[in-house]
């Protein structure tokens, strides 16, 4: 066991002991999801618990957003993900004692998430307060193959003699939840969001249908059970508005076991009737029972085998990072696999943080991972954006703009950000969507997607930029008064990242219009309009500080006061909780990679020398109060040759949630940070770039690792990149050969492994971080001692 | 009568007919106040009514400020002026018909505010629904000489025969008020803010003591009556928690009258007990009864005679403007006369608008008027600011700053602004306070004030600027990320107005420390600190656009996109109700004078040519969605020689409320705009400036006027300035001779009138305003036809 309580292992995450005060965070790390349904890693018996949660992607409640001083265009309705009907509750009475780990004694207790089987298991040996001994073994999955299905296998075995067991299996709606903290980043939870519409229970199955109190959505949850018992048992099922409960009472002899398999079906809709939704979840259950527990397990394993063949990352020499990276990939898969035209929220479906909203994180950090590993998931997430185009167009009109203004945060596509300087003004979200479209198109050649979705997204985002910017007196195209990625700056002129991303957006839109002229014609994007896009792109203003030799993050940034890091005590971080926005905005202090993100995503617009100088400049001013930052810093640190620093940042990104770096994992995992681990390895150590659809590599191995191997899928062709100290080896795993470059040298990846040498790099002096804000150093020696 | 319904007259404001839909606005224009108590011009019988209101300066209720997304340093408590116990209600039963002008017929009805007697009168002849005829004549005053006293004289006369009259005189707390509109500029009203603590009634007098539900303040209202009746009458007095009512029933023969004089006493305290407050208001009543109605009238007249001797403005040739200007001066006096260490709210005590908060308007626009006409009132308002220094210091600490950060909006000195980009970030409020201190000191030579109040205010505001700004790499002192006066821009770098005002603040603080070293020493402002102030002032960065030859309002402003005025329909104004802030902030559209205000207040830092170019540039981009703008535009239009334009702007400023230009006079008068009329005349046509304590004039007469005379008081010496077409005449009215300059020529104003010629000026082409946003033209010919 590491100090953090997780046992290091290559393919699983295992936690020993109960540790009640840690339940909230392990419920997040042990969450299961398929992108449609998410269930937190709560103990089956319901208590003790941290923050129970069962989520259906896209299912939200609405509340009025309050403003002490209102303003035109402020969103009026907020959306919050709903903790829906909880089906994972299975309570147990051992003789006449409730199985509750706060009482009695646990002689063994562990839980483990298996990245290959896609299951969460638990094994508990418990002595009741009256001294009876029992073993409880559970395993659960949220099926990747049967999207509406959750299944739980619950086994109880008497250890010290014959035993009467009573098991209660619930569907429980409107679960009371503790009030949230005052942290502005933590969303408020509303109580009892669901109104009962239908409830029925018969034999071993039950169904509850509810609607939200105020967002017009309807959901159904159903359960069915398969009971394996050595002896005759009595069962009883009851139903109320917010509760269905199957009770099974049985006498189990020592050496025998009671095994209950619980199948859950979930569904929701804004349109379907009560009978239709009820039928839908019943059908899901019928399918699940037909497949059976073993069948579901086998399907799950096959699905994951295929995933790991395309996506796995091997990091020899650092078992903790190896585990964390697979943990990251597993959770990214869980967040996106079966969303199917729903958003991928910032926390996936692992917790209620950020109200369950999706942000630009999805397109900027999560979708690149999916694009090169599970491209259908990237496609579906972009289809969700496309499905919200009417709302984005409406929002643009409301803001006096053209095209589509995508929301800063949302569940259903409508803007929910109540603080416009860090919401509405952060228009770069639309560029991130366009960029994700281009990346997906380049990586897949999916022409159907381009015709149906891609071109339209590109046209409407290009139009947004044209209405946001203007040509100045010297013909430069300026984009003023917007907010870039760094949330410690806002409403500034000519944010370099935003302008460069807008430039790319405009060029990509024009190119797509030429490829798919019928869509361009339908949307009225004619040649003169394309001409203005190209002109704006060509004349895009990118401020540069000649004197310092660096790019200001936004115009004027490098003239602002320096932050007084020396007099900022450690407890003042994160600064946003201890310093007013106004002070953050006007000084040279950076929450998260902004100009440095431009160095990554728009790296073709900077010389190597500019990258090195810019990185050093911003590194000294970036405090990483955001989990979005470390991955990007890893990428550029690696590019400019600071491989040890990159290694530290990869560690931070990958371990953000396992080490609870931001002390808020209880609210859910940081999907973008987990994705940052992939970026750090693939784009950082692998040097992978995809500018203009060309896949290029510049691999280098950091001191702390012995070998790296990562996988990618480009146009359906899977290949592996293996990095050694002096050489990299490329080999095709499946499909056709792929053209790449290695450190600038064009070559072809084929089934014959190709080894190419890695050139030397002199990175110069190491950059410094603000005092106390350097990333934790990864010490390979120490870590190896914990290896097993 | 003019089209607006007010009759034009030099010394009064008179309104004929009832016009129920206009009641709200006339309640504001007919409001009476002495700066301590304010009562709106509601009909005595209570209904019909617009928005009743009785206010005690500084008496507020508190409520939580809601934030959908909270942030560090956001104010948590809002303050709202309370509609306190209403003592002006006197209901009448004529025979058995309630006197209610919505029924029966008014054969005559007029109300008039007399600027010399300081009273609001009303004469109504009414035929009841059953045909009985009665004349009601009332007169009321809020005493300037007895600060806690309101008095009402109520006369009823039967016109068609003997008549039974029943009169009910109330003290009424927690009056229900209609909910407010959704206009973000209109404050929300909370119902029933008062909790009864004590109530007593006896004979003809009563007292009610209440406390606020949640702000810890206590108030008392008492009434007493003097009844003059030709016959014996029956009277009865009752009291409840929220009501005291004296009922008088009497038979009045035709030709006789019932006359009731109602005396009201008001008081509030955060500290005094119930008995103490009760005693306080009873004592006030005893004083008022001792003086008597005629005595109160005489004192009021004498107070106003003195005021007009110092403050009057004569505008020959434009009777409407003449009336409006005296109306403006009268209301400014009412707002400030007896505030005595309370704020002067943006609306004075004339209505609930802006929640009753005071803003920078007070120091920037209202106090200059008072400084040169009723300097004690300016002094008291600054004493209020000084009394809030502990809160301003606390706020500075909270914001990570030094010195004092005065609130953007407040009643008790604590920040109540819930939108920081246009609140906290508008630090120029502190410079306005410093500037008002300097102006008051220069105009009065009040060394006691400097020692007690002035130096400390200057030191603490200077410290604020030092912590807000920084020296850049070239040694320039920059103030980044603040908001200037123009509310259609925010969070910009190096706002010229702010930087120049900060510069003056720093220099004035250093100078004051040298004059009053004991205060400097007490506050630790030593020579090195003064040195940094002087250095920052000397190196203050003032951006300039060499190419356009104008000063950008803030750095980068002139590079922003132009506003598309041609495609902005008239109904889109005010823009803030129809356009998002983000779009306003990033374009060249200006709500109110900002750089142009710098041209006025810091005119010594610009050449005449710069002024002309800057004025033309900003004139074309200023939409005047704020009532704070026209007066300043008048001043600079006059200075650069566009006297007709200045005349239009003076008209707009003076008539803002009488013409209800912003369609919100129902919420109260715009004190700063009324003050703007004074600025337009005195600083505009008179060319008065007070840079460095020197009083200079550059008078010019616009075409539309035949003659202007205005008065001023400098160091206790009163003098008059008379402007003719070709010459100006200066003469001392009282006191010692005063040194001034006339168009650059030094001279001395003495009891011998001194006439000096006015040089020619060639203003060049007239500036243009955005389409549809030119001020209304004043047509002297048309106006003269309405003269009488």
B476 is in an annotated binding site: no
- Say what percent of chain B tops pLDDT 70: 96
Return the bridge partners of A154, or none.
A138, A260
Segment B643-662 shows an average pLDDT of: 96
What is the tens place of the pLDDT at every residue in A544-577? 999 999 999 999 999 999 999 999 999 999 999 9
Supply φ then ψ for residue B312, to 5 degrees. Answer: -65, 150
SS3 content of chain B, % helix, strand, coil (to 5): 35, 25, 40
What is the sign, positive or negative, of the torsion defined by CA atoms of B561, B564, B565, B570? negative
Q: Which of A487, A652, A667, A709 is catalytic?
A: A487
Highest mean pLDDT among A419-423, B188-192, B229-233 belongs to A419-423
Q: So what's the pLDDT on residue B692?
A: 94
B112 is in an annotated binding site: no
**Residue A487 designated active-site:** yes
Question: Which of A67, A578, A586 comes nearest B68 by C-beta?
Answer: A67
Q: How many angstroms separate the CA atoms of B218 and B514, rounded?
A: 43
pLDDT > 80? residue A3: no
Q: Which of B12, B157, B456, B487 is catalytic?
A: B487
Number of C-alpha atoms within 13 angstroms, CB side, residue A701?
24
Instruction: Spell out which residues of chain B touch residue A577, defining contact as CB-CB under 8 Å.
Output: 72
Helix (H, G, I), strand (E, B) or coil at B456: helix
**Residue extent(s) of CATH 2.70.98.40 domains in chain B:** 14-65+74-309
pLDDT > 60? residue A294: yes
pLDDT > 80? residue A779: no
pLDDT > 90? residue A180: no
The annotation places the binding site of A for substrate at 360-361, 591-592
Q: How many angstroms separate the CA atoms of A301 and B60, rounded?
A: 67
Q: So what's the pLDDT on residue A231?
A: 86
Contact A359, A409 (CB under 8 A): yes
**Residue extent(s) of CATH 2.70.98.40 domains in chain A:** 31-309
- Say what percent of chain A tops pLDDT 70: 96
Query: What's the full length of chain B, in residues?
Result: 788
Cα A214 vs. chain centroid, distance in angstroms? Answer: 27
Q: Which residue of A has its CA nearest to B420?
A: A582
CB contact under 8 A, B65 and A68: yes
Q: Which of A576, A447, A608, A464 is nearest to A519 (CA)?
A: A447
Q: What is the DSSP string of B190-238?
A: -S--EEEEEEEEETTEEEEEEEESSS--EEEEEEEEEEE-SS--EEEEE
Mean per-residue pLDDT over chain B, rounded: 95
What letters, b where the CB count within 10 A reaches 16 and e where it falls short, cover B344-383? bbbbbbbbbbbbbbbbbbbbbbbbbbbbbbbbebbbbbbb
Q: Which of B36, B222, B283 is nearest to B144 (CA)?
A: B36
SS3 content of chain A, % helix, strand, coil (to 5): 35, 25, 40
pLDDT > 80? residue B781: no
pLDDT > 70? residue A579: yes
Q: So what's the pLDDT on residue A780?
A: 55
CB contact under 8 A, A580 and B470: no
pLDDT > 60? residue A298: yes
B361 is in an annotated binding site: yes
* pTM metric for this prediction: 0.94
Q: How many angstroms separate the CA atoms of B63 and A375, rounded?
A: 52
Q: What is the CATH architecture of A312-757?
A: Alpha/alpha barrel (1.50)
Cis? peptide before A574, omega within 30° of 0: yes
Q: How many angstroms separate the CA atoms of B602 and B170, rounded?
A: 52
Q: How many angstroms separate the CA atoms of B590 and A156, rounded?
A: 74
pLDDT > 70? residue B660: yes
Closest CA–CA distance from residue A589 to any residue of chain B (Å): 13
What is the tens place of the pLDDT at every residue in B260-307? 999 999 999 999 999 999 999 999 999 999 999 999 999 999 999 999
Instruction: Spell out which residues of chain A touch residue B587, defining contact as CB-CB under 8 Å.
Output: 480-481
What is the tens place of the pLDDT at every residue in B446-501? 999 999 999 999 999 999 999 999 999 999 999 999 999 999 999 999 999 999 99
Contact A370, A336 (CB under 8 A): yes
pLDDT > 80? residue A613: yes
CA-CA distances (angstroms) from residue B740 to A347, A600, B663? Answer: 71, 66, 41
What is the tens place of the pLDDT at every residue in A121-177? 999 999 999 999 999 999 999 999 999 999 999 999 999 999 999 999 999 999 987
pLDDT > 90? residue A214: no
Is the domain spanning B14-65+74-309 CATH 1.20.1090.10? The answer is: no
Q: So what's the pLDDT on residue A8?
A: 95
Q: Which residue of B has its CA nearest to A396?
A: B580
Contact B74, B65 (CB under 8 A): yes
Task: Put the strands of the sheet holding B12-16 in their side by side order.
Answer: B6-7, B12-16, B105-114, B119-127, B133-142, B149-158, B258-269, B218-228, B205-212, B194-202
**Residue extent(s) of CATH 1.50.10.10 domains in chain B:** 313-757
Q: Which of B162, B164, B138, B107 is nearest to B45 (CA)?
A: B138
Q: So what's the pLDDT on residue A4?
A: 52
pLDDT > 50? residue A188: no
Strands B243-252 and B234-239, by their bridges, are antiparallel
Mean per-residue pLDDT over chain A, rounded: 95
> pLDDT class for A784, splitting at 50, 70, 90?
very low
CB contact under 8 A, A68 and B556: no
Question: Which of B421, B424, B470 comes nearest A421 by C-beta?
Answer: B421
Q: So what's the pLDDT on residue A192?
A: 84
Contact B244, B87 (CB under 8 A): no
Segment A484-507 shows an average pLDDT of: 98
Q: So what's the pLDDT on residue B4?
A: 52
Q: Which letter does DSSP use for residue B483 in this model?
A: -
pLDDT > 60? residue B162: yes
What is the tens place of the pLDDT at every residue in B300-356? 999 999 999 999 999 999 999 999 999 999 999 999 999 888 999 999 999 999 999
pLDDT > 80? residue B661: yes
Q: CB under 8 Å to A336, separation ≥6 — which residues?
A: A35, A344, A366, A370, A374, A377, A378, A380, A381
Contact A745, A756 (CB under 8 A): yes
Return the bridge partners of B153, or none.
B139, B261
Cβ atoms within 10 Å, residue A569: 8
Instruction: Spell out which residues of chain A touch residue B418, defining contact as CB-CB under 8 Å.
Output: 67-69
CB contact under 8 A, B493 and A559: yes
pLDDT > 80? residue A186: no
> pLDDT class for B588, splitting at 50, 70, 90?
very high
What is the tens place of the pLDDT at every residue in A647-663? 999 999 999 999 999 99
Q: So what's the pLDDT on residue B184?
A: 44
HEC secondary structure over A41-64? CCCCCCCCCCCCCEEECCCEEEEE
Q: Which of A740, A691, A692 is nearest to A712 (CA)?
A: A740
Q: So what's the pLDDT on residue A597?
A: 98
Q: How many angstroms separate the CA atoms of A783 and A704, rounded?
A: 10
pLDDT > 90? residue A702: yes
Question: Which of A72, A579, A585 comes nearest B576 by C-beta?
Answer: A72
HEC secondary structure over B324-383? HHHHHHHHHHHHHCCCCCCCCCCCCCCCCHHHHCECCHHHHHHHHHHHCCCHHHHHHHHH
Instruction: Spell out which residues of chain A touch residue B425, defining contact as CB-CB under 8 Å.
Output: 582
Q: So what's the pLDDT on residue A340?
A: 87
Q: Which residue of A has its CA nearest to B70?
A: A184
**Residue extent(s) of CATH 1.50.10.10 domains in chain A:** 312-757
Q: So what's the pLDDT on residue B190?
A: 52
CATH of domain B313-757: 1.50.10.10
Supply φ then ψ for residue A636, to 5 degrees. Answer: -75, -35
Q: Which residue of B has its CA nearest to A578?
A: B72
Query: What's the full length of chain A, in residues?
Result: 788
CB contact under 8 A, A72 and B580: yes
Question: Which of B70, B73, B586 comes nearest A481 by C-beta?
Answer: B586
pLDDT > 90? residue A709: yes
Is the domain spanning A31-309 CATH 3.40.50.10860? The answer is: no
> pLDDT class for B181, splitting at 50, 70, 90?
very low
Contact B77, B65 (CB under 8 A): yes
Q: Which letter does DSSP use for residue B564 in this model?
A: -
CB contact under 8 A, A72 and B561: no
Q: How many angstroms separate the CA atoms of A720 and B514, rounded?
A: 77
What is the tens place of the pLDDT at every residue in A332-387? 999 999 988 899 999 999 999 999 999 999 999 999 999 999 999 999 999 999 99
């Amino acid at each position: 066991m590491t100090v953090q309580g997780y046992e290091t292992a290559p393919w699983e995450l295992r936690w020993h002991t109960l540790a009640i005060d840690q339940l909230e965070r392990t419920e997040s790390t042990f969450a299961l999801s398929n992108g449609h349904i998410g269930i937190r890693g709560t103990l089956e018996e319901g208590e003790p618990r941290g923050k129970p949660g069962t989520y259906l992607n896209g299912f939200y409640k609405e509340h009025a957003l309050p403003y002490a001083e209102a303003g035109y265009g402020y969103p009026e309705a907020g959306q919050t993900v709903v903790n829906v009907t909880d089906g994972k509750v299975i309570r147990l009475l051992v003789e006449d004692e409730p199985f509750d780990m706060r009482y009695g004694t646990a002689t063994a207790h562990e839980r483990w998430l298996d990245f290959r089987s896609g299951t969460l298991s638990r094994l508990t040996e418990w002595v009741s307060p009256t001294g009876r001994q029992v073993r409880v073994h559970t395993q659960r999955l949220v099926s990747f193959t049967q999207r509406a299905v959750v299944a739980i296998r619950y086994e109880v075995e008497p250890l010290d003699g014959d035993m009467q067991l009573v098991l209660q299996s619930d569907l429980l709606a409107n679960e009371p939840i503790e009030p949230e903290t005052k942290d502005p980043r933590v969303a408020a939870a509303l109580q009892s969001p669901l109104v009962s519409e239908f409830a029925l229970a018969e034999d071993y199955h039950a169904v509850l249908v509810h609607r939200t109190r105020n967002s017009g959505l309807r959901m159904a949850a159903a359960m069915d059970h398969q009971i394996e018992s050595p002896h005759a048992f009595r069962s009883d099922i009851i139903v109320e508005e917010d509760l269905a409960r199957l009770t099974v009472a049985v006498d189990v002899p020592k050496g025998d076991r009671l095994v209950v398999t619980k199948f859950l079906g979930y569904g929701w809709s804004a349109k379907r009737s009560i009978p239709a939704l009820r039928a839908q979840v019943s059908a899901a259950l019928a399918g699940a029972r037909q497949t059976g527990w073993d069948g579901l397990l086998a399907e799950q394993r096959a699905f994951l085998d295929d995933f790991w063949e395309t996506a796995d990352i091997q990091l020899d020499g650092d078992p903790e990072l190896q585990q964390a990276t697979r943990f990251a990939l597993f959770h990214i898969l869980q967040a996106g696999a079966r969303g199917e035209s729903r958003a991928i929220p910032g926390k996936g479906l692992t917790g209620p943080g950020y109200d369950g909203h999706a942000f630009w994180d999805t397109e900027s950090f999560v979708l690149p991972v999916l694009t090169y590993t599970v491209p259908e998931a990237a496609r579906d997430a972009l289809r969700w954006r496309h499905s919200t185009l009417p709302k984005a167009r409406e929002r643009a009109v409301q803001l006096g703009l053209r095209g589509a203004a995508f929301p800063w945060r949302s569940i259903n596509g409508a803007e929910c950000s109540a603080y416009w300087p860090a919401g509405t003004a952060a228009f770069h979200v639309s560029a991130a969507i366009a960029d994700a479209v281009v990346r997906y198109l380049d990586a897949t050649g999916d022409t159907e997607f381009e015709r149906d979705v891609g071109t339209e997204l590109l046209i409407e985002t290009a139009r947004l930029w044209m209405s946001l910017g203007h040509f100045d007196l010297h013909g430069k195209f300026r984009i003023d008064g917007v907010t870039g990625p760094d949330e410690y700056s806002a409403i500034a002129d000519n944010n370099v990242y935003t302008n460069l991303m807008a430039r790319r957006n405009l060029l990509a839109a024009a190119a797509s219009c030429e490829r798919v002229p019928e869509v361009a014609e339908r949307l009225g994007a004619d040649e003169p309009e394309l001409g203005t896009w190209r002109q704006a792109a060509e004349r895009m203003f990118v401020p540069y500080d000649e004197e310092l030799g660096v790019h200001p993050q936004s115009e004027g940034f490098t003239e602002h006061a320096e932050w007084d890091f020396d007099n900022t005590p450690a407890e003042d971080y994160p600064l946003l909780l201890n310093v007013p926005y106004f002070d953050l905005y006007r000084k040279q202090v950076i929450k998260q990679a902004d100009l440095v993100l431009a160095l990554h995503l728009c790296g073709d617009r900077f010389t190597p020398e500019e990258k090195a100088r810019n990185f050093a400049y911003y590194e000294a001013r970036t405090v990483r109060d955001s989990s979005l930052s470390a991955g990007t810093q890893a990428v550029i640190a690696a590019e400019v040759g600071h491989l040890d620093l990159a290694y530290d940042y990869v560690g931070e990104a990958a371990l953000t949630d396992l080490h609870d770096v931001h002390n808020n994992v209880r609210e859910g995992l940081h999907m973008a940070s987990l994705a940052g681990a992939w970026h750090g390895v693939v784009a950082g150590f692998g040097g992978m770039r995809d500018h203009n659809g060309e896949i290029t590599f510049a691999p280098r191995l950091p001191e702390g690792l012995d070998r790296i191997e990562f996988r990618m899928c480009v146009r359906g062709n899977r290949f592996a990149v293996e990095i050694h100290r002096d050489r990299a080896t490329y080999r095709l795993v499946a499909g056709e050969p792929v053209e790449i470059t290695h450190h600038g040298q064009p070559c072809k990846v084929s089934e014959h492994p190709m080894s190419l040498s890695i050139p030397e790099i002199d990175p110069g002096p190491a950059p410094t971080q603000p005092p106390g804000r350097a990333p934790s150093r990864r010490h390979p020696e120490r870590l190896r001692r914990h290896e097993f």
